């Protein structure tokens, strides 16, 4: 039958005789198809691979920041010992000697005989005497009772436990000597030195450049919190008001067009430019305090506004016109129709957009660099609610950047740990946004 | 079904190109096509008519496995093109579609030049060995699409710039360029004005000399004008299938009669 | 915080006004709210609006205008002899302001008595010393005119703020009384309030314009200052970037070309990573992937977009940099000297941009009508042929727009380059060398110790201007292309 069609068609039929027997060309085409598909799979896989690498390195590098090495020693100070020590010229030294002898006794009891000298203890645990003295002057009632002291080991010792410092690569310095590691090993065998959860990292403030062990992210979390309060308090009402105007009331004219063009362009302006704006307008021109969460919040508000306006307008647009018509039909004014009916129906969408905008603002770093939130070392919590806005403070991403740019590698661990905390906040916010969307999403 | 006997009668005049038996199509849970048996003859225009949603387009799309591109569609039954099951696992739908071309309801020229639109099929199927052959194929196809005279001076102009009727004839030329044996047309004139429709109908009649043409149409007049055989679909069933003249003058099934006289549909 | 108190007082007046206005409206209708033109709350809101809006408006305008006014007054007080060679009036003014704030803070802390601070004949050395004791930053050379200027600066400022407080409160009260007396049953309170709210909404929408104006003004103004101190041609065509650290200008070379090159190079590397991966991922996810794969992979890729840039910066600095160094460094191929390099920053930025490119392309590919694909399948094309020869050419303008948007993102990205690209400005082709970018230098010039009025700091604004114009141009062009593309299929 192919013959028949051949005779009638002057040209030879170009198609293979049978559908089930692929010819050379179809095979080649099928191969090209498979190759193309493989590129696609490879691209998706590469993207996911990067995601996995990113998260593995965050987790593997950051989790150690949540543990710290402590030496816990049970120690009893009698009234008499205290008085004797207070009479000495070098008071803290006297306390530290008492501590060393207590430690020695404890080690001896367990049958471990190691040389403990005072300098080594100072390299391992810092100024022990001072810590003990402060404790008893604050808690005189504890005199004569056994007290369990959890003393934070120095960051080098911490690094030795976490594998950052090893016997082979380390060099003797005033921070740690090789011989100290023998002592550390002995203490470890005795169970005196151990890993504990690093509460000070979560609750504490930044430490100085040479004390990575004591650095905490707590103060900058507070700084970020105040910034977010400013962002929320300004960008939500302004953003919603602007969106309502543009979506419901704006006449079709040049001015409205100008606003629209501005919003879509601002959404794509690099964040660093907002930092320049903040520096020039808020700090140089309006003389607001540098490094203050208030200024950071203002800058981030301007940055977040376009995002919030765009998402709010989308949710307002999603409310069908029939709702407005219904309200207008019973004699409500346009304003009442919008505020009584449209806005409540759009609220979940607006909220979702706002939370996502806030999450974006929370992770933003570049503008904060310019308004001085990085140079500032937050050493404590603000003094009160209002001071929280105006007192210089750091913010989470700025704090992470500060740690990452310090010379001591021990701070890197803190930076990764800080990122985990930052991501936990972001994740929580995004999950809330997703839940809100799932729960209140309405299909018209 | 009682129309089976009549189908048998037609065989002696023309060779059967495409034989469909017990065809079922499901869209997810919906049973869209039920037990359809149709024989498409070579060098004949077969029209599928019926009210909207009766499944005629769906059935048409089964004939070159366009339903494969829809995830939820499932097709059962036997479809034999020149005796070969087109739903056989070994069949490459790509090869099948080169043999069974398709023209769509809305003209859909690619956003390329007129030349590239027509050359697209021959290029992917490797029908031309050199530029000269390709030029020849393009010219021949455009002539068969009855549009050559209108576009021969502007082959580099974008295909999307043509008028609706020209676009549809371009799409027909594009389909013809791959040398199909069967040409499926899904309401090819529904987006065209009456003059363009007349041109396309004339073209369909010319195409009959080379191809087996299957056309889905809403317009009974069009079916009467262009087709030799007509199949009437209703609610997913093939109600009646036979000579066009007979279906329109002397339908056997009361539903066909109601539709033709305008009482349903 | 007197400003806070002022705000609270105005709010309180407005609140009282609301209650009284509402009560008066009800009273005028004989206690029956049906006799009123509008709901009683509208009468209250009318009073509250007319109290608060003018008062806050005045407050804002005053806060903006007063510093300008005081500055120009004080600036006129400084004799020309005080402006040294190589310095500028604005540098001296910065000095004056610093001294004034120093005095203010010192008085607040009790280090200096009010009398001593405002004594025009005070001994300069003594004042300087006591300011230093109070922990205030002052340069050593406070001169008599500067001290005088600083003292009158203080006086004018605090005087201005007192006047402002009184004026604001008076305006608030006047508004309250006026609108309270307006309140009668026939008064169309609803219309007035709604008109007022509408104006407020418009004001909120105008903030977008204000922001743009603020950005442009702060950039233009400071760039202008910079070009007064440093020749524009040297900035635009200079091929070396080496700011002096003295912070006083003179020996600095501030050519933008090496920075632009670094920016461009890193962005190109980033796009070379992001565009193929993002585009193919989008093609796969929109054309091939089963719904289940799509619903998993798409949000996962978008997680990459939600990660803050500081994380990518750290990733570049601490993970990717050392990794590349291991392969290409002295122990490996010997091409790389340090972990921070164009490659490091470019790679990481590319990863960051993958979801950006892929989700934009995804939208654009989905906008190509299905009829186009059907036409191609109907001719016997397989999926990859359809995508390559029909879908992608049709989507090309949109994809170009997406790539341009990604490029603008890459150019404006800060944290990754600050942490991953290095600090040396050079014109080199080796991607394993450290280079620096416009954004990174904006940060380093403005966070250093340089005086804000010196060319070393002001150059950051010129850089910001360059960056702003560059990204704005790219965005406008890209959005134009994308919009044209959308219109084609609507």
A395 occurs within a structural domain: yes
Asked if A27 is an interface residue toward chain B (Cβ–Cβ < 8 A), one would say no
User: Confidence band (pLDDT; 50, 70, 90) for C139?
Assistant: low
Q: How many domains does chain B have?
A: 1
Task: Report yes or no on B163 lying in a domain.
Answer: yes
Mean pLDDT is lowest, of B12-16, B70-74, B79-83, C336-340, for B12-16
Compute the CA torsion angle C408, C411, C417, C418 (nearest 10 deg): -110
Read off the tokens for A390.
Answer: 């105006």
Collect all residues of chain C within an 8 Å Cβ-Cβ radius of residue A364. 308-309
| Contact B63/A at CB under 8 A | no
Q: Nearest-CA distance from A40 to chain B in Å?
A: 18
Q: List the subunits that have 3+ CB pairs under 8 angstroms with C.
A: A, B
Per the model's pLDDT, the better-predicted residue between C371 and B10 turns out to be C371
pLDDT tens figures, C100-111? 777 777 777 776
Closest residue in A to B90 (Cα–Cα): A20
* Residue B73 main-chain phi, psi, to 5 deg: -80, 135
C296 and C419 in a single domain? The answer is yes
Shared domain check, A354 and A429:
yes
* pLDDT score of B10: 44
Indicate whether B12 belongs to any domain.
Answer: yes
CB C357, CB A5: distance < 8 Å: no
Contact A106, A193 (CB under 8 A): no
Which of B42, B84, B179 has the CB atom closest to A18's CB atom? B84
Whether A15 shows a pLDDT value over 70: the answer reads no
If one compares C50 and C88, the residue with the highest pLDDT of the two is C50
3-state secondary structure of A68: strand
Looking at the domain assignment, is residue B123 inside a domain? yes
Range of the domain at A427: 218-440
Please check the confidence at residue A1 and state whether its pLDDT lies above 80: no
User: Do C306 and C397 share a domain, yes or no?
Assistant: yes
Structural domain including B245 reads 4-260
Contact B98 C380 (CB under 8 A): yes
Interchain CB distance below 8 Å, A269 and C472: yes
Task: Decide if B243 is inside a domain.
Answer: yes
Residue C410: closest C-alpha in chain A: A270
In a domain, C146, yes or no: yes
Does A258 fall in a domain?
yes
Q: What CATH number does the domain containing C419 carry?
A: 1.10.3720.10
pLDDT band at C19 (very low <50, low <70, confident <90, very high): very high
Q: Give the number of domains in chain C.
A: 2
A343 vs A236: CA distance, rounded Å: 13
Q: Chain B: give the shortest CA distance to residue A320, in Å.
A: 29
pLDDT-based confidence at residue C326 (cuts at 50, 70, 90): confident
- Per-residue pLDDT band for C85 (boundaries 50, 70, 90) equals low
Same domain, C325 and C419: yes
Contact A36 C388 (CB under 8 A): yes
- C-alpha distances in Å from residue B145, one per residue of B41, B97, B149, B200, B222: 22, 19, 10, 9, 19
Tell me which residue in B69, B112, B121 faces C379 most closely, judged by beta carbons: B121
pTM to 2 decimal places:
0.83
SS3 content of chain B, % helix, strand, coil (to 5): 40, 25, 35
Check residue B7 and give its pLDDT: 43
Looking at the structure, tell me whether residues A249 and A186 fall in a common domain.
Answer: no
My answer on whether A248 and A166 are in the same domain is no
- Does C398 fall in a domain? yes
User: Is C215 part of a structural domain of the chain?
Assistant: no
Instruction: Please tell me whether residues A165 and A274 are part of one structural domain.
Output: no
- Is B21:B78 a contact under the CB 8 Å cutoff? yes
Please report the pLDDT score of residue A7 as a whole number.
Answer: 39
Tell whether C181 and C274 lie within a shared domain. Answer: no
- Banded pLDDT at A12 (limits 50, 70, 90): very low
Has residue B126 been placed in a domain?
A: yes
Is B265 inside any structural domain? Answer: no
Nearest CA in chain B to C489: B111
One domain, residues A93 and A223:
no
In the listed set A136, A170, A200, which residue is the last one of a domain according to the structure? Answer: A200
Residue B66: which of C378, C382, C393 has the nearest Cβ? C378
Given a cut of 60, whether residue B167 has pLDDT beyond it is yes
Q: Are C139 and C248 in contact (CB under 8 A)?
A: no
- Report the mean per-residue pLDDT for chain B: 86
Chain A contacts of B90, Cβ < 8 Å? Answer: 20
Left (φ > 0), alpha (ψ -120 to 50) or beta: where does C67 sit?
Answer: alpha
So what's the pLDDT on residue A123? 77
CB contact under 8 A, A9 and B88: no
User: What's the mean pLDDT in B38-48?
Assistant: 91
Measured between beta carbons, the chain C residues lying within 8 angstroms of A281 are 214, 218
Which chains share 3+ C-beta pairs under 8 angstroms with A? B, C
CATH number at residue B172: 3.40.50.300
Q: Evaluate whether residue C42 is within a structural domain.
A: yes
pLDDT in tens, B109-145: 888 889 999 999 888 888 888 899 999 999 999 988 8
- Specify if A21 maps to a domain: no
List the single residue in B with minimal CA-CA distance to A32: B124
In a domain, A10, yes or no: no
Give pLDDT, residue C204: 92
pLDDT at residue C186, rounded to an integer: 81
Report residue C230's pLDDT band, with 50, 70 and 90 as the boundaries: confident
Per the CB < 8 Å rule, is A15 touching B91? Answer: no
| Most confident of the ranges A188-197, A329-338, B131-140 | B131-140
For an interface test with B, the pick among C379, C389, C394 (most B C-beta atoms closer than 10 Å) comes out as C379
Q: How many CB atoms lie within 10 A of CB A408?
A: 16
The total number of structural domains in chain A stands at 2
Antiparallel, parallel or unpaired: β B45-49 and B212-216: parallel
Residue of A nearest to B15 (CA): A1
**CA distance to partner chain A, nearest, from residue C294 (Å):** 10
**Which residue of chain A comes nearest to B124, CA vs CA?**
A29
How close is the nearest chain A Cα to the Cα of B82, in Å? 8
The Cα of C383 is separated from the nearest Cα of chain B by a number of Å equal to 9
Same domain, C148 and C279: no
What string of DSSP letters covers C94-109? HHHHHHHHHHHHHHHH
Please answer whether residues C477 and C418 qualify as being in contact, where contact means their C-beta atoms are separated by less than 8 angstroms: no
Is there a single domain that holds both residue A185 and residue A121? yes
Residues of A in contact with B210 (CB under 8 A): 8-9
Give the C-alpha distances (Å, rounded to integers) separating A244 from A111, A237, C205, C214: 78, 10, 9, 24
At residue C490, the pLDDT reads 57
The verdict on C364 touching B (C-beta cutoff 8 Å) is no
Contact (CB<8Å) B94/C389: no
Bridging pattern class, strands B182-186 and B212-216: parallel
Name the residue of chain C whose CA is nearest to A251's CA: C202
pLDDT at A444: 62
Q: Does C393 touch chain B (CB under 8 A)?
A: yes
The answer to the question of residue A54 being in a domain is: no
Q: What is this model's ipTM? A: 0.85
Q: State pLDDT tens for residues C480-490.
A: 888 887 776 65
pLDDT at B6 over 60: no
Whether residue C198 is contained in a domain is answered as: no
CATH of the domain at A237: 1.10.3720.10
Interface test with B, best of A15, A21, A22, A33 (most B CBs within 10 A): A15
What does each C-alpha distance from A111 to A105, A334, A352, C7, C123 come to in angstroms?
10, 87, 63, 71, 73
Give residue C349's domain range: 253-488
């Amino acid at each position: 039958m192919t013959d028949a069609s051949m005779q009638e068609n002057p040209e030879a039929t170009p198609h293979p005789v049978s559908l089930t027997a692929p010819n050379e060309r179809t095979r080649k085409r099928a191969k090209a198809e498979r190759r193309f598909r493989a590129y696609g799979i490879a691209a998706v896989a590469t993207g996911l691979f990067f995601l996995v690498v990113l998260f593995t390195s965050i987790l593997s590098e950051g989790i150690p920041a949540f543990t710290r090495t402590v030496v816990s020693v049970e120690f009893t100070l009698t009234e008499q010992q205290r008085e004797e020590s207070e009479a000495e010229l070098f008071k803290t030294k006297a306390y530290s000697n008492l501590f060393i002898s207590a430690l020695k006794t404890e080690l001896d009891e367990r049958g471990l005989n190691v040389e403990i000298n005072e300098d080594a203890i100072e390299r391992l645990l810092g100024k022990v005497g001072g810590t003990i003295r402060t404790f008893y002057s604050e808690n005189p009632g504890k005199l004569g009772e056994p007290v369990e002291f959890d003393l934070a080991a120095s960051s080098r010792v911490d690094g030795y436990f976490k594998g950052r410092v090893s016997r082979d690569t380390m060099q003797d310095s005033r921070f740690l000597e090789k011989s100290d590691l023998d002592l550390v090993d002995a203490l470890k065998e005795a169970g005196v030195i151990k890993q504990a959860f690093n509460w000070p990292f979560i609750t504490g403030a930044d430490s100085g450049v040479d004390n990575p062990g004591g650095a905490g992210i707590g103060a900058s979390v507070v700084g970020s919190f105040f910034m977010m309060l400013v962002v929320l308090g300004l960008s939500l009402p302004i953003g919603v008001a602007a969106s309502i105007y543009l979506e419901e009331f704006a006449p079709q004219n040049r001015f409205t067009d100008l606003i629209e063009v501005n919003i879509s362009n601002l959404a794509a302006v690099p964040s660093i430019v907002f930092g320049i704006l903040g520096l020039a307008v808020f700090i140089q021109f309006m003389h607001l305090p540098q490094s203050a969460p208030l200024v950071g919040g203002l800058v981030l508000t301007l940055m977040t506004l376009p995002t919030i306006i765009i998402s709010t307008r989308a949710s307002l647009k999603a409310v069908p016109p029939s709702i407005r018509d219904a309200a207008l039909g019973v004699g409500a004014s346009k304003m009442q129709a919008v505020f009584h009916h449209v806005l409540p129906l759009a609220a979940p969408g607006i909220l979702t957009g706002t939370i996502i905008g806030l999450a974006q603002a929370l992770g933003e770093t570049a503008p904060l660099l310019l308004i001085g939130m990085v140079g500032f070392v937050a050493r404590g919590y603000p003094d009160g609610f209002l001071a929280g806005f105006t007192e210089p403070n750091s913010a989470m991403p700025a704090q992470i950047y500060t740690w990452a740019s310090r010379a001591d590698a021990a701070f890197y661990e803190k930076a990764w740990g800080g990122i985990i905390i930052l991501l936990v906040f972001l994740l929580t916010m995004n999950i809330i946004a997703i839940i809100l969307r799932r729960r209140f999403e309405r299909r018209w | 079904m009682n129309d089976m006997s009549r189908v048998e009668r037609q065989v002696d005049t023309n060779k059967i190109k495409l034989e469909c038996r017990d065809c079922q199509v499901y869209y997810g849970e919906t049973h869209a096509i039920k037990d359809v048996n149709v024989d498409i003859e070579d060098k004949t225009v077969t029209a599928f008519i019926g009210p909207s949603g009766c499944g005629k387009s769906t059935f048409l799309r089964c004939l070159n496995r366009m339903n494969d591109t829809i995830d939820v569609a499932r097709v059962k039954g036997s479809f034999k093109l020149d005796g070969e099951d087109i739903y056989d696992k070994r069949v490459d739908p790509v090869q099948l579609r080169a043999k069974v071309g398709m023209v769509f309801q809305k003209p859909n020229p690619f956003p390329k030049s007129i030349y590239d639109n027509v050359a697209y099929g021959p290029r992917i199927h490797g029908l031309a060995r050199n530029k000269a052959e390709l030029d020849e194929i393009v010219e021949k196809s455009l002539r068969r699409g009855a549009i050559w005279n209108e576009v021969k001076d502007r082959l580099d102009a974008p295909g999307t710039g043509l008028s609706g009727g020209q676009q549809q004839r371009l799409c027909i030329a594009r389909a013809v360029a791959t040398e199909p044996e069967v040409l499926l047309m899904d309401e090819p004139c529904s987006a065209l004005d009456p003059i363009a429709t007349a041109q396309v109908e004339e073209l369909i009649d010319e195409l009959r000399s080379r191809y087996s043409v299957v056309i889905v149409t809403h317009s009974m007049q069009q079916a009467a004008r262009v087709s030799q055989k007509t199949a009437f679909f209703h609610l997913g069933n093939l109600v009646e299938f036979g000579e066009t003249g007979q279906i329109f003058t002397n339908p056997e099934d009361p539903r066909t009669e109601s539709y033709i006289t305008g009482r349903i549909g | 915080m007197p400003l806070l108190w002022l705000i609270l007082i105005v709010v309180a007046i407005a609140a009282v006004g609301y209650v009284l206005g509402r009560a008066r409206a009800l009273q005028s209708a004989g206690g029956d709210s049906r006799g009123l033109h509008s709901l009683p709350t509208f009468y209250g809101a009318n009073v509250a609006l007319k109290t608060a809006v003018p008062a806050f408006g005045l407050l804002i305008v005053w806060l903006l205008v007063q510093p300008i006014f005081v500055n120009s007054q004080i600036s006129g007080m400084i004799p020309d002899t005080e402006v040294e060679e190589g310095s500028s009036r604005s540098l001296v003014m910065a000095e004056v302001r610093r001294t004034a704030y120093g005095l203010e803070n010192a008085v607040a802390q009790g280090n200096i008595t009010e009398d001593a601070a405002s004594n025009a004949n005070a001994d300069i050395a003594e004042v300087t010393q006591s300011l230093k004791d109070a922990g205030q930053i002052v340069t050593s050379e406070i001169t008599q005119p500067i001290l005088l200027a600083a003292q009158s600066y203080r006086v004018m400022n605090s005087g201005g703020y007192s006047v402002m407080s009184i004026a604001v409160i008076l305006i608030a009260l006047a508004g309250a009384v006026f609108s309270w007396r307006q309140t009668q049953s026939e008064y169309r309170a609803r219309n007035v309030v709604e008109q007022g709210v509408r104006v407020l909404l418009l004001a909120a929408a105008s903030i977008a314009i204000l922001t743009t104006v603020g950005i442009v003004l702060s950039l233009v103004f400071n760039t202008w200052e910079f070009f007064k101190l440093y020749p524009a041609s040297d900035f635009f065509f200079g091929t070396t970037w080496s700011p002096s650290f003295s912070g006083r200008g003179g020996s600095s070379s501030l050519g933008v070309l090496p920075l632009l090159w670094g920016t461009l190079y890193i962005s190109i590397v980033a796009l070379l990573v992001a565009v193929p991966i993002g585009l193919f991922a989008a093609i796969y996810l929109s054309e091939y992937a089963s719904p289940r794969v799509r619903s998993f992979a798409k949000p996962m890729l978008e997680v990459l977009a939600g990660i803050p840039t500081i994380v990518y910066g750290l990733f570049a600095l601490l993970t990717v940099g050392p990794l590349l160094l291991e392969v290409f460094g002295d122990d490996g191929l010997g091409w790389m000297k340090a972990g921070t390099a164009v490659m490091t920053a470019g790679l990481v930025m590319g990863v960051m941009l993958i979801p950006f490119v892929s989700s934009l392309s995804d939208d654009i590919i989905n906008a190509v009508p299905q009829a186009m694909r059907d036409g191609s399948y109907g001719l016997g094309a397989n999926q990859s042929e359809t995508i390559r020869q029909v879908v992608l050419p049709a989507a090309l303008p949109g994809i170009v727009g997406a790539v341009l948007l990604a490029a603008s993102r890459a150019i404006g990205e800060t944290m990754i380059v600050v942490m991953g690209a290095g600090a040396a400005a050079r014109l080199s082709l080796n991607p394993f060398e450290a280079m620096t970018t416009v954004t990174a230098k904006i940060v380093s010039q403005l966070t250093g110790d340089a005086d804000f009025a010196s060319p070393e700091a002001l150059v950051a604004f010129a850089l910001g201007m360059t960056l702003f114009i560059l990204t704005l141009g790219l965005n406008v062009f890209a959005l134009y292309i994308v919009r044209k593309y959308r219109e084609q299929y609507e």
